[in-house]
Amino acid sequence: MGILNPAGALSLVAIAVLLALYLFDRRRRAVPLGTLFLWQHVPAAVLQRRRFRPDALFFLQLALLLALIAGYLRPYLEDAAAPAAGAPLVVVLDVSASMQAREAGGTRFELARRRARALLDELASGDDAMLVAAAERPHVAQRWTSDRALLRARLEALEPLDTPTRLAPALELALGEARARPGTRLAVLTDLPPEETGMAPDELAAFHYIQLGATDDNLAITALTIDQPPFQTAREAAVTAIVRNFASTSRPATLEAWVGTDRWERRELVLGPRATEHVLLAHPPHGGELVVSLLVDDALAVDDRAVGWIAPGEPLDLLLVSDSRELADAFGALASALAGSRVEVVSRDRYRAEGVTGRRAALFDGFVPAELPPAVNALYVAPPAGNTICPTTRAVDGAAVIDWEPDHPALHGLQALDAIEVAHTNALEAPDWATPIVLAAARHAAFPLLVAGERDGRRIACLGAELAAPLTSSDKLPLLMLTLGTLRWLAEPFGGAALAVETGIPALAARGPTAPVQGPGGGTGLHLAGDPAVVVADRAGTYRVGPPGGERLVLANLFDERESDIGRRAAAESAPTVAPRVPDARARREIGWWMYLAATALLATEWLVWARRPAS
Amino acid sequence: MRLRPAARVFRGGADGGPEVALRARLLDPARLARYDGLALHVRRGMGDRPGERRVPGRPQPSGIELEAHSAYAPGDDLRHLDWNVLARLDALLVRRFTAERDVVAHILLDASASLAVPAGDDKLGTACELAMALACVALNAGDAVRVAVLGGDAAPNGVGRAPDDAPAAPVFRQRVSIPRVATLLAGVCPQGSDGLGAALERYTARRRAPGLALVISDFLMEPHEVERAIQALRARGYDIHLLHVLGAGELDPTRVFSRGMLVDVESGATRPIALTAATLARYQAVLAAHLDALRALAARCETSYARLVAGDDVAGLLTGALARAGLVRRR
């Protein structure tokens, strides 16, 4: 017989508390402190003694406490026929993008797989093993099994992904398994140095840590930015590609940009050691899928290519419902400045729902009709109190923007929105179908200033602030850009814009088709699930989601400098170790639950005695 | 990102009380004037957003300070072509400039319940004052500031705390935002007992871009919990500084009590203690060992560590210990 939780003996202090309740005066002074962990090392004192008069209740409570403590200590009885314990093994294999880097004997992943194969071969017959693949998230490739052929097959089926590395969750998972199975050996095969795993050194000490890879020969496109002014043609777009040399030697490279099937640009670059080059590409031939690639023979190829989307650029086609002549003039000036644009202005009393048909978007200024406009996306500006589409809570004076959702497509390319200050606005209340994407704050409270969402198959946005004239003045420029950005989002057709994501990072997908998926790896590199749909890409590249004709694009890139910076000081390997020792639960029979059952019975008895005691 | 109503970070109403007094104290003009001329020194944790911090070694096509030349390529801005070099060497070279990046100073205030006790020490006020000072120094120097109040549960009235995973912890970028920082800090309500390590792991999971992490806490926890917090920040590439706010009553318990039942405000645990010469000496030894362990941990993790006793001069800490640690310097 023994105990599995010796540390639980500390709970014996509960008996002292029980005794203290009987021994000490109830009026003793309580001193609140931030923590007692320093005082745990200081001997406790007897504060005030009085005559100890134990009764039946005391003994029952003492027995109850002892039963609980005994249960907490997890006592066990030795099993006479304990099974012979093997040496289980958990192999954590890094399958992140940097493992695709080429080394002298193959890729880092192939080197890691070779070592993992050898570790599995060393297992004794009947020993269990588990295989965990680690990238942005851990994935149990094979649960505990002693089937060597199955393990080998799973290992051979693994391939490195195009995602960044987050090794810590996988290591935590392996540690958890090791605690449940005492004596488990842990092995991790990765190119990440131990100090970058995010784990404490004493936790890492439990692992047989095998670090692979040494080359730093890598050039990468670390960012691709597409700036396209609202309602301008694709020719006005500008693309900036950031190219970085992660090697310690100078490298030449050729950068090529393609739009659709047309080659757009070709640049010769020479990057110094660890240097960064911003490559600006202007005046694309037309809109469409953009592919920027580095023609260079470096160790890691996945970050040599980036994809993006240049929107075709549609002119402004707006129905403005407003009684404000200044606002109508301001939008008229905008329409004349944007080639091909059209703005029709109607007053509120002449607005008819059927007149909206055929427009790309409608803007309602200080006016919310009872019904949504048919088949047109709409922006409601300064909605009055009491309307049902854009509910408001109160009027606010002197507010400023404090936070916004930079990933929302309506705010794409907009920065420094905190420069927006509005004299008068309505605090919006986000309806169920909408999300607050811009927050403002006044003196004592913050509130949504702009909410957007989809309702009844249409995109709807509500802006609390008034569009006071002169809208085109420099002071109002941030608010104007916010309005135009929102109108651009409203005017674009559903599924027309591509969704750009970074590999391994979940992103919210707009409403649209979720199957079938075509792209890298036969479409298996993209996962779409949930309502609203969340998209995660394991492989970089261009995906087409949906049936032919109604498909939408998902563009996945690996933009992670930590992942592209593949240089390591040297390969290293720690000595094989065994995980922290935990008593073997399988060979012993725990009797703690019997103690808890006894405690339950004692509690019932104690309650009965307490209920029947004579009143004092 | 799902936005939460930012009302959670502000005190509602105009009921006055301690937060009003604390806000007035944080915005004391004489106090704020002492932070002028200071700037935060950042060793790493640069983002990609354009800003005012100069980052040598990453030349870019535009900027202020010339750093290097590179071969001209079609599409390069002709204004940056070096005509003198062209005249002398007949070579087409364009100037490259030192990159200027935005630096976000993450002021991470550990507002667990222990910050409110001992009540007479004013650890909360001192921690808020230190956070305010760092925010002023950063905003005065043109850096962005994100103030996050870490801790356990939300305050009972739903305000005064931005949960550590809340994206609504706002970013301030302008000097005019200083009163808003003061309002936010004055509304902090210490509560809960969530671990600092777990809180920072959740925080860094949401904030992938690195920056300057200024962790303000009383660090009344086991050193391994502090190490877990440091590892969470290091894994994301933050430049970390530990700022330890200690109460005078924690250094000298005789200021708080002589005998009584000690109650842990976070766990509710109790311990009867009578302060005798022997128990006091034992406590002082345990405390000294804890402080040594924190300092050794900071040295091992290559982070700076500075200690401030509640009530001490915050500006003195900035120009003294933090300047020696390399965090603060004259502009």
In a domain, B262, yes or no: no
Query: Is the domain of B21 the same as that of B152?
Result: yes
Query: Is the domain of A353 the same as that of A484?
Result: yes
**Confidence band of B102 (pLDDT split at 50, 70, 90):** confident
Residue A51 CB coordination number (10 Å): 5
Q: Which of B146, B201, B226, B261 to mutate to test the interface with A (most CBs of A within 10 A)?
A: B261
In a domain, A230, yes or no: yes
In a domain, B1, yes or no: no
Q: How far is B139 from chain A (nearest CA, A)?
A: 14
d(CA A213, CA A538): 22
Beta partners for residue A426, in sequence order:
A395
3-state secondary structure of A74: coil
Question: How many domains are contained in chain A?
Answer: 5
Query: Is the domain of A377 the same as that of A504?
Result: no
Query: Is the domain of A252 the same as that of A148?
Result: no
Closest CB to B286: pick one of A38, A267, A272: A38
Query: Is the domain of A505 the same as that of A538?
Result: yes
Residue A504 CB coordination number (10 Å): 23
- CB proximity list for A390: less than 8 A, separation 6 or greater: A368, A380, A383, A428, A431, A451, A462
Judged on CB neighbours under 10 Å (0-12, 13-18, 19+), A603 is: middle
- CB proximity list for A339: less than 8 A, separation 6 or greater: A233, A315
**Contact map slice: B 169-198 vs A, CB within 8 A:** 170-171, 173-174, 177, 180, 183
Read off the pLDDT of residues A304-320 as tens digits, 9 standing for 90 and up.
999 998 888 778 888 99
Query: Is the domain of B89 the same as that of B180?
Result: no
List the CATH number of the domain containing B198: 3.40.50.410
In a domain, A591, yes or no: no
Closest CB to B256: pick one of A31, A279, A446: A31
Query: Is the domain of A332 the same as that of A460?
Result: yes
Q: Which of B101, B117, B136 finishes a domain?
A: B101
Query: Is the domain of A333 the same as that of A467?
Result: yes
- DSSP 3-state percent helix, strand, coil across chain B (nearest 5): 40, 25, 35
Partners of A435 on chain B (C-beta within 8 Å) are 2-3
Query: Is the domain of A64 the same as that of A17?
Result: yes
- B188, B109 in Cβ contact below 8 A? yes
Read off the pLDDT of residues B118-170 as tens digits, 9 standing for 90 and up.
888 889 999 999 999 999 999 998 888 999 888 744 333 333 344 444 434 67
Q: How far is A226 from chain B (nearest CA, A)?
A: 15
Question: Which candidate, A177, A200, A204, places its Cα nearest to that of A188?
Answer: A204
In a domain, A597, yes or no: no
Q: Which residues of chain A have pLDDT under 70?
A: 22-29, 46-53, 78-86, 444, 469, 472, 493-497, 511, 570-572, 575-588, 613-616
**Contact map slice: A 149-178 vs B, CB within 8 A:** 168
Closest CB to B3: pick one of A29, A405, A416: A405
List the CATH number of the domain containing A276: 2.60.40.10
- B195, B232 in Cβ contact below 8 A? no
d(CA B116, CA A290): 56
**Cross-chain Cβ contact B262/A39 below 8 Å:** yes
Residue A244 CB coordination number (10 Å): 21
Q: How is residue A581 written in tokens?
A: 């020792």
d(CA A172, CA A176): 6
3-state secondary structure of A33: strand
3-state secondary structure of A536: strand
A403 touches chain B (CB under 8 A): yes
pLDDT of residue A104: 86
d(CA A120, CA A152): 8
- What is the number of CB-based contacts under 8 A between chain A and chain B? 193
In a domain, A335, yes or no: yes
Query: Is the domain of B114 the same as that of B205?
Result: yes
pLDDT of residue A184: 87
Dump the DSSP string for A260-327: TTEEEEEEEEEE-TT-EEEEEEE--SSSEEEEEEEE---S--GGGEEEEEE------EEEEE-S-HHH
Query: Is the domain of B195 the same as that of B240?
Result: yes
A436 touches chain B (CB under 8 A): yes
In a domain, B97, yes or no: yes
In a domain, A149, yes or no: yes
**Cross-chain Cβ contact A403/B10 below 8 Å:** no
Q: Which of B15, B122, B230, B262 to mutate to test the interface with A (most CBs of A within 10 A)?
A: B262
**Contact map slice: B 58-77 vs A, CB within 8 A:** 58-61, 68, 70-71, 73-77
Tell me how many degrees the CA angle B219-B222-B223 measures, rounded to the nearest 5. 80
d(CA A7, CA A17): 18
A534 touches chain B (CB under 8 A): no
Dump the DSSP string for B71-96: E--TTS-GGGB-HHHHHHH---EEEE
- Say how many Å lie between the first and final Cα of chain A, rounded: 45
Query: Is the domain of A267 the same as that of A179?
Result: no
**Cross-chain Cβ contact B76/A268 below 8 Å:** no
Partners of B19 on chain A (C-beta within 8 Å) are none
Sole residue written with tokens 């990057």: A271
pLDDT of residue A571: 64
Q: Which residue of A has its CA nearest to B99?
A: A276
Partners of B59 on chain A (C-beta within 8 Å) are 275-277
Query: Is the domain of B198 the same as that of B319?
Result: yes
Query: Is the domain of A64 the same as that of A93?
Result: no
A446 touches chain B (CB under 8 A): yes
Residue A569 CB coordination number (10 Å): 9
Contacts of A470-476 with CB under 8 Å at 24 or more apart are A470/A326, A470/A330, A471/A326, A471/A327, A471/A330, A471/A331, A472/A330, A472/A333, A472/A334
More confident residue, B208 or B289: B289
**Cross-chain Cβ contact A32/B119 below 8 Å:** yes
Query: Is the domain of B94 the same as that of B108?
Result: no
**Strand-by-strand arrangement of the A276-282 sheet:** A219-227, A238-245, A276-282
Query: Is the domain of B82 the same as that of B212?
Result: no
Beta partners for residue B60, in sequence order:
B97
3-state secondary structure of A502: strand
**Cross-chain Cβ contact A447/B73 below 8 Å:** no
pLDDT of residue A489: 86
pLDDT of residue A287: 86
Query: Is the domain of B192 the same as that of B126?
Result: yes
**Contact map slice: B 291-330 vs A, CB within 8 A:** none
B267 touches chain A (CB under 8 A): yes
**Cross-chain Cβ contact B234/A437 below 8 Å:** no
In a domain, A583, yes or no: no
A199 touches chain B (CB under 8 A): yes
Partners of A439 on chain B (C-beta within 8 Å) are 3, 5-6, 168
In a domain, A348, yes or no: yes
How high does pLDDT run on average in chain B?
83
pLDDT of residue A85: 47
Query: Is the domain of B89 the same as that of B214?
Result: no
- A463, A448 in Cβ contact below 8 A? no
Query: Is the domain of A204 the same as that of A75?
Result: no
Write out the residue range of the structural domain in which residue B67 sits.
50-101
In a domain, B283, yes or no: no
Query: Is the domain of A27 the same as that of A145?
Result: no
d(CA B54, CA B59): 10
Partners of A196 on chain B (C-beta within 8 Å) are 235
- CB proximity list for A155: less than 8 A, separation 6 or greater: A93, A113, A116, A117, A120, A131, A141, A142
- DSSP state at residue A608: H
Q: How is residue A40 written in tokens?
A: 């745990």
- CB proximity list for A189: less than 8 A, separation 6 or greater: A91, A92, A93, A94, A112, A115, A116, A210, A212
pLDDT of residue A579: 47
Q: Which residue of A has its CA nearest to B96?
A: A277
pLDDT of residue A160: 92
3-state secondary structure of B254: helix
Q: How far is B322 from chain A (nearest CA, A)?
A: 25
Q: Which of A39, A263, A267 to mutate to test the interface with B (most CBs of B within 10 A)?
A: A39
Q: How is residue A392 written in tokens?
A: 């408001």
List the CATH number of the domain containing A145: 3.40.50.410
Q: Which amino acid is at B65?
A: E
A432 touches chain B (CB under 8 A): no
Query: Is the domain of B164 the same as that of B126?
Result: yes
Q: How far is A511 from chain B (nearest CA, A)?
A: 17
Question: How many domains are contained in chain B?
Answer: 2
Tell me how many degrees the CA angle B309-B311-B314 measures, rounded to the nearest 5. 80
In a domain, B110, yes or no: yes
Query: Is the domain of B94 the same as that of B109?
Result: no
Closest CB to B227: pick one of A196, A200, A415: A200
**Cross-chain Cβ contact B272/A45 below 8 Å:** yes
pLDDT of residue B123: 92
Query: Is the domain of A371 the same as that of A485?
Result: yes
Total count of residues recorded for chain B: 331
Judged on CB neighbours under 10 Å (0-12, 13-18, 19+), B65 is: exposed
**Contact map slice: B 141-160 vs A, CB within 8 A:** none
DSSP H or E run through B224? helix B223-235
In a domain, A113, yes or no: yes
B5 touches chain A (CB under 8 A): yes
Sole residue written with tokens 């050193």: B223
Q: How is residue A436 written in tokens?
A: 């607050």
Q: How is residue B175 written in tokens?
A: 């000097």
- CB proximity list for A111: less than 8 A, separation 6 or greater: A103, A105, A212, A213
Over residues B51-77, the mean pLDDT reads: 83
In a domain, B266, yes or no: no
Query: Is the domain of B121 the same as that of B65?
Result: no
Residue A376 CB coordination number (10 Å): 19
Q: Which residue of A has its CA nearest to B225?
A: A200
Dump the DSSP string for A92-155: EEE-SGGGG-EETTEEHHHHHHHHHHHHHHTSPTT--EEEEEESSSEEEEEEEE--HHHHHHHH
Partners of B228 on chain A (C-beta within 8 Å) are 200
3-state secondary structure of B12: coil
Q: Which of B77, B101, B125 finishes a domain?
A: B101
Write out the residue range of the structural domain in which residue A75 sits.
2-80+605-612
Q: Which of A468, A491, A514 finishes a domain?
A: A491
List the CATH number of the domain containing A330: 3.40.50.880
- A491, A360 in Cβ contact below 8 A? yes
**Cross-chain Cβ contact A41/B286 below 8 Å:** yes
In a domain, B208, yes or no: yes
More confident residue, A16 or B245: B245
